[in-house]
Every structure is written in C-alpha cells, then in structure tokens.
C-alpha cells in the first residue's frame, strides 16, 4: 500500500537545510498544485537557512490560499504605483513647451529637478520599507505626489515649479521599490507573472496623461514665448491640478477603501512570526479559503533547521527589547540590508548586473522620452505639421500602443525558452534598434510609426525589468535592493537633462546615444545568472 502524501510543512521540514528544494513530483502529491521551488538554492543567496526554510513554508501557505479577491484588489491599488511612475515623467515632458514659453528658462532644469526628487524618493522609500515596513510607505507616496503636484499648478515662477516638481517626485520615486515588493509578497508563486502584467498600469499612466494633456494644453496655451502671460497659458496649470487630484483619489482608495495588511514575509523577517501567520489566515478568510499554516508549524521548521546546524532551540532569533527596537530603526544608516545582496559571488554578480542594467536604461529612456514632445514638434515642423494639436495627438497614439505591449510581456516571460532573461534581452535590444531606425524617417507618419514600435517594445522591456528585479532579491532585503537599482536608474536619469542642456535636441544625437544604451543593456540582460520563471521568490 502506498504511503499517504506528505503535507507541505512535512516536505519543507524534510528539505530544510539541504542544498535542494522539494522535488516537483513530491510537491504535486501535496495540496499545493504548483512547484514552489525557490529562485535561490541553499548557499546561493547567503540567506539565513532558518529564514529560507520558513519562507518556503510561507510560499506554500500563500499558494494554498490561492489567487483570490484580496490579490486582485491589490493588483489594482498596487497598479496605481506603476501608473504614477510613468505618468509624472510624462507630465513634465508634456508641460515643457508651455512652461518654457511662460517663464523663459531652460527647460531641462525642470527635468533635472524632477530626477533629483526621483533619486531621493527611490533611495529613501526603498530602504524605509525594509526598516519601517511596507504598509505605511505604500500609502504615503501617492499622498506626497498629489499634494505637491496640485501646489505646483499655482507656481509663480520657474524656481517654484522646479522645486515642487522635485518634491512631488520624492513621492513618485518611492512607488516602484515599495509597490513591487508589496505585490510580490502577497501573490502565490503560480501567479508571479502578474508582476510583469502590472506594467499595463504603467502604460495607462502615459495614456491618461496624454489624453488629458491633449485638450487642456492644446486649447489653453499661448502661441509662443513672445507673448505668453499666465492668463493665456493656463493649460499646463489645469493639467497639474487634474493629475494631482487624480493622485489624491488613488490615495483615498488605497488608504481608506482597501485594507492593506503588512507583508507576512516582512513580519517574519522581523521575528514577528505570530503576526505573519495572522495575516495569512486573515487573507485566507477574506478570499473564502483556508490555510494550514500555524505558528507551531513555523516553529517546528525553525527548530529542525537549528538542530541540523547544532544550535539550541531556545536560542533567541530576534532581540525584542526596546533598545534593540531603536537600534533596528537606526539600521537605515547601516549596511545591514545592503551586504546580504552581495553575500555570495553569484548573488553579488546578479545584483551588480541589475544595477548596471537599471543605470543604463535610466539614462537611455529619459534622454529620449523626456524630450520626445519637443523632438516631435521640431520634426513635425520640418515636415510641415508641427502644431500643438498634432504633437499631442501623436503622443496619445504612442500611449495607446504601449498597452498591448504590457500584456504581451506577461505572456512572454512564461515561455520556457525565453523566460524573464530572454524576454528582457530581446525587447531591450529591439527597442534600441527602433530608436536608430526612427532617425531615418523623412515624413511625419514614418516618424510616428517608428516611435510607435519603440513604445510597444519599451513597455515590454519595462514590464519585465520591474518584475525580475524584486524577484531576484530576498524578501528581508528586497526593499533595499529595489532602492539600490532604482537609485542607479535615477542617478543616471539626472544625467539626461544635463546632456540635454548641452545638446541640440532638434538633432538625432540624443536618440543615437539612447539607442546604443538600450542595445548594450539587452546583451547585459543575457548575463543574469538566475532565471525566476517557474520559481518562487523567498
């Protein structure tokens, strides 16, 4: 007679401390319907084996709970972060011409202020969510963005506008590092591909911004810098009021309508196993399902691993004294969350490549996209159709093209021969090729066609990049890892407006630089040592 199938916790206990994860056949014999093998095998990540064993159990529990209404609601409210992340860089590009006409300053200074704010936001919020938790950081970022964007609509001069753009960008910069961690830590391994599909909100951000800007800026803007008082140039101000108000609505939906639980993996990493179990059980109840996860099961796994390592069962896992709590809060100024990202040669190699990828793309994308409306206007003028109406009409067309790109990305990352790495590499290289090809356009329609192709493939690229990075960082330090790569992205993003200050934006030089960086980044993506497809993040 065959033996009864093992429970998920029995499997995790059996394999705790070993170099391999549970066999797929063994997992399929349990109540868990998918392979929840870790992205990292033991020894590859430098993660504490006790934490890794308990994370496996949490992964099984979340898979057991399934993809229910809590996760689908989270897909929406987390998507607001993607929406904001693409909307606001687009906003400064859309208002660039009218604010330069009104205030008579060098437009790249607006992008410079914004990128400095994005850098501060990415560095601060990414680390803060590892220190103070995901929940509050998740909610505050949209509030900061909305309040200061509305205030920017009343700017009396260029200094005020650039300063307020920097402050609202502190909120924007925190969205992706925090929101990607939050979403990844609540969804089952079988649905991690949805982290890529979340980029559809990124495409929606560009689309909504372009649709709203089109009538407002086209109908309420002055003709040129020669005669441009505030009274005849209110379009960009109406636009900021509208977009800032939209951010406040999203904040209200996040904070007052949807109840976000603290991440169970974050709680477990802080030694709050009981609270982690309560969160999983609460989500299971909300979804109308059940979970076999209990505090006792976590303790059993912990004791088993500690016994194999020769450590006493009653050895403290986390100092819970007030002094220790204060010390943990001050860890934001230490390397506690940074050094684990380089704990092994393989993990250090992976983290370093991700930093380079984000840095190169951080320069390439804003160097082109941040000034695309200006470039299209000048090229359109060369072709005889450089009106404000045509410029923003084309921007809307480009935005619509990006939506199916995000959906295609979610499908491609699950193809066995492609996975995350292949999809990222191909889409990034093709993005660069399309930028090079766009310089050959000799008609307005040809230019629009090449830019549509660029927008489509770049949305695939960003969808995968935003998903694969948090998948390759351990939960305990995921926010910090996200902060590091996002900061690299923003540091190089700051270089884009500086280059623009000294380059002729009416020429193709910035586009050639941008295209070359995309192509190099695509080949770098092929060197990533880990492939998250079909595996669970820990």
pLDDT above 70 for 460: yes
* Segment 17-43 mean pLDDT: 45
Those residues with Cβ within 8 angstroms of residue 473's Cβ, 6 or more apart along the chain or in another chain: 341, 351, 480, 481, 482
Q: Which helix (H) or strand (E) holds 357?
A: helix 345-369
pLDDT above 80 for 255: yes
* Segment 434-438 mean pLDDT: 86
Residue 174: predicted pLDDT: 86
Pull the structure tokens for residue 434. Answer: 């399309």
Residue 424: predicted pLDDT: 93
C-beta of residue 165 within 8 angstroms of C-beta of residue 511:
no
Pull the structure tokens for residue 79. Answer: 């998507």
C-beta of residue 42 within 8 angstroms of C-beta of residue 283:
no
Highest mean pLDDT among 121-125, 324-328, 348-352, 395-399 belongs to: 348-352
Pull the structure tokens for residue 350. Answer: 């992976």
- Mean pLDDT over the full length of the chain: 80
Number of C-beta neighbours around residue 222 at 10 A: 18
pLDDT band at 29 (very low <50, low <70, confident <90, very high): very low
Residue 475: predicted pLDDT: 67
pLDDT band at 380 (very low <50, low <70, confident <90, very high): low
**pLDDT per position as a tens digit, 45-59:** 455 677 778 888 888
pLDDT band at 382 (very low <50, low <70, confident <90, very high): low
Query: How do the residues of the chain divide into helix, strand and coil, expressed in percent and rounded to 5?
Result: 75, 0, 25
Those residues with Cβ within 8 angstroms of residue 333's Cβ, 6 or more apart along the chain or in another chain: none
Pull the structure tokens for residue 386. Answer: 């450089």
pLDDT above 60 for 25: no
**pLDDT per position as a tens digit, 130-169:** 778 888 889 899 999 999 999 999 999 999 999 999 999 9
Q: What percent of the chain lies above the pLDDT cut of 70?
A: 79
Residue of 117, 50, 54, 133 whose CA lies nearest to 85: 117
How many residues can be counted in the chain? 538
* Segment 15-38 mean pLDDT: 43
pLDDT above 60 for 201: yes
Residue 537: predicted pLDDT: 61
- Domains of the chain (ranges, CATH numbers): 69-261+339-525 (1.20.1250.20)
Residue 536 phi/psi, 5° resolution?
-95, 135
Residue 268: predicted pLDDT: 85
Number of C-beta neighbours around residue 296 at 10 A: 10
Number of C-beta neighbours around residue 364 at 10 A: 29
* Segment 187-195 mean pLDDT: 86
Task: Give dist(CA 472, CA 528) in Å, integer.
Answer: 10
Task: Give dist(CA 370, CA 365) in Å, integer.
Answer: 8
β-bridge partners, 536? 38
β-bridge partners, 38? 536
Read off the pTM: 0.76
Pull the structure tokens for residue 451. Answer: 């830019």
**pLDDT per position as a tens digit, 282-291:** 999 999 998 8
Return the exposure string of 322-331: e unless at least 16 CB atoms fall within 10 Å of the residue's CB, then b: eeeeeebeee
pLDDT band at 20 (very low <50, low <70, confident <90, very high): very low
Task: Give dist(CA 471, CA 194) in Å, integer.
Answer: 12
Half-sphere exposure of 355 (CA within 13 A, CB side): 16
C-beta of residue 205 within 8 angstroms of C-beta of residue 83:
yes
Those residues with Cβ within 8 angstroms of residue 528's Cβ, 6 or more apart along the chain or in another chain: 350, 353, 354, 420, 421, 468, 472
């Amino acid at each position: 007679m065959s033996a009864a199938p093992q429970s998920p916790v029995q499997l995790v206990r059996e394999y705790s401390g070993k170099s391999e994860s549970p066999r797929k056949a063994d997992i399929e014999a349990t109540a868990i319907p998918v392979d929840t093998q870790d992205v990292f095998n033991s020894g590859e990540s430098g993660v504490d084996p006790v934490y890794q064993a308990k994370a496996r159990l949490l992964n099984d529990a979340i898979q057991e709970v399934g993809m229910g209404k809590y996760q689908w609601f989270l897909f929406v409210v987390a998507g607001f972060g993607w929406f904001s992340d693409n909307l606001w860089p687009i906003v400064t590009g859309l208002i660039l011409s009218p604010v330069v006409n009104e205030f008579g300053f060098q437009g790249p200074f607006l992008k410079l202020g914004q990128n400095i704010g994005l850098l501060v936001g990415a560095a601060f919020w990414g680390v803060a969510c590892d220190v103070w938790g995901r929940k509050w950081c998740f909610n505050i970022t949209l509030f900061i963005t909305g309040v200061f964007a509305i205030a920017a609509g009343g700017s009396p001069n260029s200094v005020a506008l650039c300063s307020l753009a920097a402050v609202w960008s502190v909120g924007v910069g925190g969205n992706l590092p925090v929101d990607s961690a939050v979403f990844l830590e609540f969804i089952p391994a079988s649905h991690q591909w949805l982290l890529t599909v979340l980029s559809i909100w990124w495409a929606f951000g560009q689309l909504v911004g372009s649709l709203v800007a089109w009538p407002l800026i086209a109908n309420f803007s002055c003709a040129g810098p020669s005669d441009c008082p505030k009274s005849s140039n209110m379009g960009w101000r109406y636009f900021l009021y509208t977009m800032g108000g939209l951010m406040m609505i999203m904040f209200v939906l996040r904070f007052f309508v949807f109840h976000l639980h603290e991440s169970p993996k974050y709680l477990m990493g802080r030694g709050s196993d009981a609270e982690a179990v309560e969160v999983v059980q609460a989500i299971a109840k909300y979804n109308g399902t059940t979970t076999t996860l209990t505090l006792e099961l976590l303790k059993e796994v912990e004791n088993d691993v500690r016994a194999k390592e020769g450590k006493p069962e009653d050895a403290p896992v986390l100092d819970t004294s007030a002094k220790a709590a204060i010390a943990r809060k001050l860890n934001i100024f230490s390397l506690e969350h940074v050094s684990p990202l380089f704990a092994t040669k393989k993990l250090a190699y992976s983290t370093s490549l991700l930093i380079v990828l984000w840095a190169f793309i951080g320069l390439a994308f804003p160097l082109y996209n941040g000034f695309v409306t200006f470039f299209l206007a000048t090229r359109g003028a060369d072709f005889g159709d450089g009106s404000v109406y045509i410029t923003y009409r084309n921007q809307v067309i480009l935005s619509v093209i990006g939506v199916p790109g995000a959906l295609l990305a979610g499908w491609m990352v699950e193809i066995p021969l492609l996975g995350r790495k292949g999809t990222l590499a191909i889409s990034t290289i093709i993005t660069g090729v399309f930028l090079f090809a766009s310089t050959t356009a000799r008609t307005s329609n040809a230019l629009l066609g090449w830019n549509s192709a660029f927008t489509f493939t770049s949305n695939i690229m960003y969808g995968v990049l935003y998903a694969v990075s948090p998948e390759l960082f351990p939960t305990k330090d995921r926010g910090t890892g996200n902060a590091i790569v996002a900061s690299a992205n923003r540091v190089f993003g700051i270089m884009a407006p500086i280059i623009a200050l000294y380059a002729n934006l009416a020429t193709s030089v910035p586009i050639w630089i941008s295209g070359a960086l995309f192509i190099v980044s695509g080949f770098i993506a092929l060197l990533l040592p880990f492939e998250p497809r079909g595996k669970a993040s820990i």
